[in-house]
Structure 1
Amino acid sequence: MKLKTKINIVSISLTMVILISSFTGIYFLYEHFAITTEAEHLQTRALELTTAISALEQTEGIDMVFRAHIPTDGAIIVQDANDKTLIRLQTTAEKIDVATQKNELYTVKSFGNIPYIAISTPMIWPDGQIVEAKFIQPLPTITENLNRLFIILLLMTLLALVPIFLASQLLVRLIVKPVTKLTTTMERNIQQSSFEQLAVNERSKDEIMQMTSTYNTLMAQLEDLHDKQQQFIGNASHELKTPLTVIESYAKLLKRRGTENVEVTDEALHAIIQESANMKHLIEQMLSLAKSAETTKITVSNFELSSFLQTIAANVQTAYHREIHLKAPNVVVMTDESMLKQLLFIFIDNARKYSDGFIELHASVDEYLHIEIRDNGIGIPKQDLPHIFNRFYRVNKDRNRKTGGVGIGLSIAQELALRLHATIHVESELGQGTIIQITLPLHGGNPYES
């Protein structure tokens, strides 16, 4: 069942239940008050008759007194203590009688579809005995009024269906139309592989506006991820195509000319080995980038900063025979040690590749931990600085090809920095070197949060 149908059924049914309950209450309240009013009038008549009878000293002419107080189209029945009827007067041809209860104010009984109300009251008979006088009166006016009221309430209920239905349609329009529009847009996006967004009514602050804004944010993120995926596939294909082409060319050369020419064979094998190594490095970096993009759990631990940086500097000096100038305070910090080590290795490795002198590694502490990596290498052009963290972006392809770079390392560094809640600032000038400044919280928090 569609949401539109459900809303119509629920809203109309609920409103009709409320209307019918209200009108039913009105009907029975009117009936109760109308009958109670007639009973009070009948009690007044009985009181007047009781006063008149108590003034008599004999029963002669007593019928005339009763006839003066008999209800219209009704009856008066007087019985003694032994239920013997002393007087019975009525203005109807049909004999009527209603049994009354002593504990009830009145009793209602129908004769021929006409309700009759009866009350009983004690009075002193002229001879001194206590008798019971019963007054019976028809209620045709109340019956007619109740019938009219029923018809009026029924017509009001039927007429109310029109505004109820219109209100239900308005409710459907307010709720279902945005949902339908959202569904249609989503289906169109699926069919056309697009990322169409919805117009947002900024003046409206309701849940529909929030849903629309959330959907637009989701579409924007999906579009960004799609663009990055397409860029990644294109760049990865291009980067893999070059070494594969070289390997294929030299393999065909060896097949065509054999291994008799030692120089050609050595050149081919060297190129194949070199390009295979490049491919291996590229694939490893691609896997590392994919792994860093996953939502992995951060393992925060306390460790001593100075010894941590000394270990990194010693490893670089041992592996690449490059001098590292280290300056760091002897403080304890709290963050993911493994991720921070990987982040620093990426920047130190870049400094090693694109400079020949020593590398400076400095750290300082205030409200945050600041780590600076400085080299005196070839530097980065200013126009390239905004793009260096893009995947597969390379400042100089020939230079990066010689150093084995494929433009993924800094993308990995950016992903790691995001997970560590760290910020990265890069300063560089051609021929003057590069400065990498990393800022992260001392206690594993978010520097963006106050």
Structure 2
Amino acid sequence: MSLKLRFALLQTSLLFLILLGVNFFIYYLFIENNSRNETQNIERKAAKLLLQENVVQHPEYWENPFLLKDFLVANELIRLIGPDSTVQKEIYTDETLLQRPAKFIPATGTVSKLVSTDNGFCLYVQVPVMENERQIASLEIARKLVTLNDNVQVLFLALFYTTLGALVLSVIIGYIYASLVFNPIHRLAQTMESIERSGTFRRLEIQSTRKKDEIAQLGQTFNEMIGRLEQHFEQQKQFLADASHELRTPLTIIESYARLLKRWASNDPQIREEAIEAILSESVRLREMTKSLLTLADSDERQRTEWQEFELRPLVQATAASIQLTFDREVRLDLPEEDTPLKMKGDPEKIRQLLIILLDNAIKYSQLPINIIVREQPRHLQISVVDKGIGIEKDDIPQLFNRFYRVDKARSRKNGGVGLGLAIAENIVKLHAGTLKIQSEPDIGTEVHVRLPKD
């Protein structure tokens, strides 16, 4: 069963239950109102019989029904019931009213009973007959409610056909409405199947009239997801192409020098030294590239380790000292006063890796001292790495975070770069819900600003 039909049937079922309750309520009110009116009419008749005609003291009324012709109408029963529930006197114009046995009901007021029989509704009303403040009998007047029975049949047919029409209309309207609601979902499913079969990325067309409803939001979310998937797919495709290209070069160099060693190394020590140096250099480069690729893949998983609160100041100081010792380059620190806490939550090892990447890039492309500036803000800490190096063209800055992208490939290869550092740095910053911005001008220098939340 389709979702549209199920929706229409569910809506119709709910409507049926509501109409059923409403119909029962209307039916009950109709019966109750009519029986109350009939009870009042019978009470007035009983009062006249007891007060005006005094039928209890005049047995001739019971022996000659003609005397009660003004009181006895068609489809009616009048009887006097004794305390032992025996019928003392009775006259009637409808024998079916005798089917209900006489029963004396001790009471100080009127007692009425609406009875449903095979012939329709009958109303029985008992009025106590008092003598010397003692009930000596009950005057019972019963009436077959012919008009009510006819009206009930008309009411039943009216309610039945009205309900039936409403249900049929509900099924039709519900199915049409369900089609309007679920057609976009059906198109979404078809688009997904098409993507699975063809391997191409497609997007849904969203009608301008439905841009604010939930179905349109679902379609927009799907399109955004497809856009991200397509972007990731293209990046992955480009990554594989770049990785294969980058790996091919050092492997080719290693293979070439290995063949050179095999052929000439025994006769020429200079060739042997050159080949060994080249193989060692490219092997180190391969190792660093593999390490960077694994780091990048690990950061892409975005699996948060257990965050911990740590002080950024000693981490920056230790990293700067390590870089100065390793590269024999001056790194200047500009930190807030010692009494200013620089606490944040995150992974200190990844923040250290981020600083090393930024400092390593600054050292490669600058011969002057590097500056690290840390500023404390209400909810963030800002780390800036500033160099006075060769700078970067404005058009190249947006591409710097792409994997294997290098502004000057020859210079980068000479410096040992593989074009993965800033991609790793960006992932570390994103993992900490921060931002990373680069400002640079050729022949002036580069500033890298990292903004990280404290919590």
Task: Sort the TM-score into its range (normalised by shorter chain).
Answer: 0.7 to 0.9
What code does the residue aligned with 2:124 have?
Answer: A
Distance (whole Å) between structure 2 residues aligned to residue 320 and residue 252 of structure 1: 34
Q: Which residue of 1 aligns with 2:416?
A: 404
Q: Which residue of 2 aligns with 1:185?
A: 191
**What's the secondary structure of 1:407's corresponding residue?**
coil
Shift in Å at residue 230 of structure 1?
Answer: 1.2
Shift in Å at residue 308 of structure 1?
Answer: 4.0
**What's the secondary structure of 2:298's corresponding residue?**
helix
Q: Which residue of 1 aligns with 2:93?
A: 91
1:144-159 equivalence runs, <5 A: 144-159=150-165
Q: Which residue of 2 aligns with 1:4?
A: 4
What code does the residue aligned with 2:389 have?
Answer: G
What code does the residue aligned with 2:401 have?
Answer: F
User: Given the alignment of the two structures, is residue 40 of structure 1 paired with residue 40 of structure 2, yes or no?
Assistant: yes
State how many pairs are aligned. 440
Q: Cα–Cα, structure 1 residues 316 and 120, in superposed 2: closer, same or farther, change >3 Å?
A: closer
- 8 Å contact from structure 1 (residues 313, 324) kept in 2: yes
Moved more, 7-16 or 88-97: 88-97
Q: Which residue of 2 aligns with 1:70?
A: 72
Q: Which runs of 5+ in 1 are unaligned?
A: 446-450
Distance (whole Å) between structure 2 residues aligned to residue 430 and residue 82 of structure 1: 121
Q: Which residue of 2 aligns with 1:251?
A: 258
Task: Report the TM-score when normalising by structure 2.
Answer: 0.84
- 8 Å contact from structure 1 (residues 420, 440) kept in 2: no
- 8 Å contact from structure 1 (residues 298, 419) kept in 2: no
Q: Cα–Cα, structure 1 residues 349 and 82, in superposed 2: closer, same or farther, change >3 Å?
A: closer
- 8 Å contact from structure 2 (residues 261, 275) kept in 1: yes
User: Given the alignment of the two structures, is residue 339 of structure 1 paired with residue 350 of structure 2, yes or no?
Assistant: yes
- 8 Å contact from structure 2 (residues 439, 446) kept in 1: yes
1:98-247 equivalence runs, <5 A: 98=100, 99-100=102-103, 102=105, 105-108=111-114, 113-123=119-129, 130-200=136-206, 201=208, 204-247=211-254
Q: Which residue of 2 aligns with 1:448?
A: none
**What's the secondary structure of 1:96's corresponding residue?**
helix
What code does the residue aligned with 1:179 have?
Answer: I
User: Given the alignment of the two structures, is residue 444 of structure 1 paired with residue 454 of structure 2, yes or no?
Assistant: yes
What code does the residue aligned with 1:67 have?
Answer: K
- 8 Å contact from structure 1 (residues 420, 444) kept in 2: no
Distance (whole Å) between structure 1 residues aligned to residue 137 and residue 87 of structure 2: 10
Q: Cα–Cα, structure 1 residues 106 and 273, in superposed 2: closer, same or farther, change >3 Å?
A: same
- 8 Å contact from structure 1 (residues 339, 420) kept in 2: no
Q: Cα–Cα, structure 1 residues 30 and 100, in superposed 2: closer, same or farther, change >3 Å?
A: farther
Shift in Å at residue 361 of structure 1?
Answer: 3.6
Q: Cα–Cα, structure 1 residues 35 and 242, in superposed 2: closer, same or farther, change >3 Å?
A: same
**What's the secondary structure of 1:301's corresponding residue?**
strand
Q: Which residue of 2 aligns with 1:356?
A: 367
Q: Cα–Cα, structure 1 residues 116 and 319, in superposed 2: closer, same or farther, change >3 Å?
A: closer
User: Given the alignment of the two structures, is residue 292 of structure 1 paired with residue 317 of structure 2, yes or no?
Assistant: no
1:375 to 375, 387, 394: 387
- 8 Å contact from structure 2 (residues 121, 145) kept in 1: yes
User: Given the alignment of the two structures, is residue 28 of structure 1 paired with residue 28 of structure 2, yes or no?
Assistant: yes
Q: Which runs of 5+ in 2 are unaligned?
A: none
Shift in Å at residue 371 of structure 1?
Answer: 3.9
Distance (whole Å) between structure 2 residues aligned to residue 204 and residue 39 of structure 1: 62
What code does the residue aligned with 2:356 have?
Answer: F
Q: Cα–Cα, structure 1 residues 148 and 303, in superposed 2: closer, same or farther, change >3 Å?
A: closer
**What's the secondary structure of 1:198's corresponding residue?**
coil
Shift in Å at residue 148 of structure 1?
Answer: 2.2
- 8 Å contact from structure 1 (residues 39, 106) kept in 2: yes
Distance (whole Å) between structure 1 residues aligned to residue 248 and residue 431 of structure 2: 32
What code does the residue aligned with 1:386 have?
Answer: P
Moved more, 142-151 or 357-366: 357-366
Distance (whole Å) between structure 1 residues aligned to residue 130 and residue 433 of structure 2: 102
Distance (whole Å) between structure 2 residues aligned to residue 52 and residue 262 of structure 1: 149
Task: Report the TM-score when normalising by structure 1.
Answer: 0.85
Shift in Å at residue 284 of structure 1?
Answer: 1.1
- 8 Å contact from structure 2 (residues 85, 103) kept in 1: no
